[in-house]
Amino acid sequence: MSAPLLSARGVGKRFGGRVACHDVSFDLWRGEVLGIVGESGSGKTTLLNCLAGRLLPDSGSVTYETKSAGSVDVHRLSEARRRLLARTEWGFVNQDAREGLRMGVSAGANIGERLMAVGARHYGEIRGQAADWMTRVEIDVERLDDRPNTYSGGMRQRLQIARNLVSNPRLVFMDEPTGGLDVSVQARLLDLLRGLVEGLHLSVVLVTHDLGVARLLTHRLMVMQGGTVVEQGLTDQVLDDPQHPYTQMLVASILPV
């Protein structure tokens, strides 16, 4: 018997009178990468924050299948359990790496934090794992003791990914992980992400406005407009044969590339 890893049912959120997202439902399976695409203001980031337990939806529910404690309603967990989940079984990659990193401490401390948060108390082992993860995200181990404010944008983003993956999460939320980076830096990061996601059999919910990123990384797509999902399906199908006029417009607008 197998249950979806993450299930959303009728998730909705308003800010004041404005609908940010409305009646969103989907299932995410192990090893699956789901893309949420749409323009800015489409509600995709609000939805992501609701899914990750960072925002309380006004309606609907989000269910997550934990490693050992069965399925849980993300928003009915105690704050303590939700935060524990967020730093063990989940990851969250921010568009702005500065929001996801501690800029005042070394790369090693950034990567080691999750290990220490769950009780690791051997400096040498923590450092060893941090060094290992530096290599896996293609950062020179020589930079282990440097602070992220001496890193380039692309390196910071890779460090943020390592900081999340060190705890072996099963589910990673990503908010425009390649946004704001140069095209060549983006390409390298996308390659790295694709390798990690496949190699670690990660499940990912990825928010992006960039259909190229969606094409490269995701298996399935949800297209959002004005807070509602207007189309969803396998990524190739949605991008090659868009049915909804809004999706057609999005796809047409990147054709020249």
Binding site for other proteins (CB under 8 A): 79-80, 83, 87, 102, 105-106, 108-109, 112-114, 116-118, 121-124, 126-127, 144-145
Whole-angstrom distance, CA of residue 87 vs CA of residue 118: 9
CB of 113 to other proteins, least distance (A): 5
CB of 78 to other proteins, least distance (A): 9
- Give residue for tokens 């702005």: 96
Residue pair 222/25 in contact (Cβ under 8 Å)? The answer is no
Decide whether 86 or 192 has the Cβ nearer to other proteins: 86
- Give residue for tokens 């460090």: 159
Decide whether 69 or 117 has the Cβ nearer to other proteins: 117
Q: How many residues does the chain have?
A: 257
Among 184, 170, 181, residue whose Cα is nearest residue 208: 181
Q: Residue type at 235?
A: T
Distances from the Cα of 83 to the Cα of 68, 190, 229, 246, angstroms:
16, 28, 28, 37
- Give residue for tokens 């490269």: 216
Decide whether 127 or 188 has the Cβ nearer to other proteins: 127
CB of 124 to other proteins, least distance (A): 5
CB of 171 to other proteins, least distance (A): 20
* Neighbouring C-beta atoms of residue 28, cutoff 10 Å: 22
Decide whether 30 or 147 has the Cβ nearer to other proteins: 147
CB of 29 to other proteins, least distance (A): 31
Decide whether 33 or 109 has the Cβ nearer to other proteins: 109
